[in-house]
C-alpha cells in the first residue's frame, strides 16, 4: 500500500509540495447518480419545473464547483483547469439522472478531486432545485472512473 501523501513523517496533515514535479497532461473522469420519483424526472425532462432548466443549472454548478475545489477541500492545490465538462443524462430506468464529469489540465498535480467535486455538486444542485417536489431523492455512486497522467500513469475503475 502506498503511503498517504497528505501526511508528513510525523503523521501531520500537509499540502503536498509539487514544486519539482514536471507539468504533464492530466485528465480525470468521475460520475454520480441521483435517483428520484419518475414524476420528478418527467418534470425535468419536459421542462415543466417551476425553477426553469434544472439540468442547465446543475451543469453550470458542476463546472463552477470544479473551479473552486481548492476552496472546499483543505489540502487541494488551486489548479488552472483547461477543460471541465459535465454531462447529465436521464436514466433509462425513468427515475434517475446520471452525471458524468471530465476535468483536464496541463500541470503538476492531478484533477481527480475536481472531477469528483463537479459530479457531487451537480447532484446536490439537482437535489436543491427539486426538493420542493421530491424530498426522497437519493444521491449515490459518486466515484472516480478514470485518471490519466502524472507519475502514477493511467488508472481505470473496475466496472460497477
Q: Is 100 annotated as a binding residue?
A: no
Instruction: Give the gyration radius of the chain's Cα atoms.
Output: 17
Torsions phi, psi of 33, nearest 5?
-135, 140
Q: Which of 71, 128, 134, 158 is catalytic?
A: 128
pLDDT band for position 152 (cuts 50, 70, 90): confident
* 77 belongs to an annotated ligand binding site: yes
Q: How far apart (Å, rounded) are the C-alpha atoms in residues 80 and 83?
A: 9
Task: Tell whether 113 is in a known binding site.
Answer: yes
Q: What percent of the chain lies above the pLDDT cut of 70? A: 89
The 8-class DSSP code of residue 150 comes to S
Give the integer Cα–Cα distance in Å for 23 and 30: 22
pLDDT tens digits, residue range 81-137?
999 999 999 999 999 999 999 999 998 888 999 999 999 999 999 999 999 999 999
d(CA 81, CA 77): 11
75 is in an annotated binding site: yes
Q: Residue 70 above 90 pLDDT?
A: yes
Asked about 128 being catalytic, the answer comes back as: yes
Q: What is the DSSP letter of 48?
A: -
Other beta carbons within 10 Å of 94: 12
What pLDDT does 160 receive? 64
Task: Determine if residue 27 is labeled as part of a ligand binding site.
Answer: no
At residue 87, what are phi and psi to the nearest 5 degrees? -110, 130
**HSE of 51, CA atoms in CB hemisphere, 13 A:** 16
Output 7 or 118, whichever has higher pLDDT.
Answer: 118
- Strand residues in the chain grouped as ranges (E): 24-35, 83-90, 96-107, 138-148, 155-156
Query: CA–CA separation, 141 vs 119, rounded Å?
Result: 10
Side-chain-side CA neighbours of 89 within 13 Å: the count stands at: 11
> Which of 8 and 85 is assigned the larger pLDDT?
85
Q: Which domains does the chain have, with CATH numbers?
A: 22-147 (3.30.70.640)
CA-CA distances (angstroms) from residue 129 to 20, 42, 50, 70? Answer: 44, 14, 9, 25
- For residue 70 the three cell numbers come to 481548492
Confidence (pLDDT) at 1: 47
Amino acid at each position: 500500500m502506498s503511503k498517504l501523501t497528505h501526511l508528513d513523517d510525523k503523521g501531520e496533515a500537509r499540502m503536498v509540495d509539487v514544486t519539482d514535479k514536471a507539468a504533464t497532461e492530466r485528465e480525470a473522469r468521475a460520475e454520480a447518480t441521483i435517483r428520484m420519483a419518475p414524476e420528478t424526472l418527467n418534470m425535468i425532462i419536459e421542462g415543466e419545473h417551476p425553477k426553469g432548466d434544472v439540468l442547465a443549472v446543475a451543469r453550470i454548478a458542476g463546472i463552477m464547483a470544479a473551479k473552486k475545489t481548492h476552496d472546499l477541500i483543505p489540502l487541494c492545490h488551486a489548479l488552472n483547469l483547461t477543460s471541465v465538462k459535465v454531462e447529465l443524462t436521464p436514466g433509462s430506468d425513468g427515475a434517475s439522472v446520471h452525471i458524468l464529469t471530465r476535468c483536464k489540465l496541463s500541470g503538476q498535480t492531478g484533477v481527480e478531486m475536481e472531477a469528483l467535486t463537479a459530479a457531487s455538486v451537480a447532484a446536490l444542485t439537482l437535489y436543491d432545485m427539486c426538493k420542493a417536489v421530491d424530498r426522497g431523492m437519493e444521491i449515490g455512486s459518486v466515484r472516480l472512473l478514470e485518471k490519466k497522467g502524472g507519475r502514477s500513469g493511467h488508472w481505470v475503475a473496475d466496472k460497477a
